Amino acid sequence: MLDEVIKILNEIVGADEGEIEADLNLFEAGLLDSFAVIQMFVALEEKFGVTLAVETLPREEIVTPALIARRVEQAL
């Protein structure tokens, strides 16, 4: 799951493989903004067939790839 989340993030933000690690704060690193978050949620929903309500998730619950992967797993 985590590897797939990182792969999706790499595609959305244009990061090189290995640049995004599990515990990287994506907002502090300047990789995620509000538009990229929406793109990420759409990609995750399409990939895993889950529904993630961006408006109900606090930012602190999606700051790292590991936290994002956990939220997707909970939605499965």
Burial 37-65 (b: 16+ CB within 10 A, else e): bebbbebbeeebeeebeeeeeeeeebbbb
- For the domain that residue 37 is a member of, what is the CATH number? 1.10.1200.10
DSSP 42: H
As for how many domains the chain has, the answer is: 1
Q: For residue 27, give its domain range.
A: 2-75
pLDDT in tens, 17-75: 889 999 999 999 999 998 999 999 999 999 999 988 777 778 888 999 999 999 999 88
For residue 14, the model assigns a pLDDT of 92
Task: Report angle CA 70, 10, 72 to the nearest 5 degrees.
Answer: 20
- Global pTM reads 0.90
pLDDT reported for residue 52 = 84
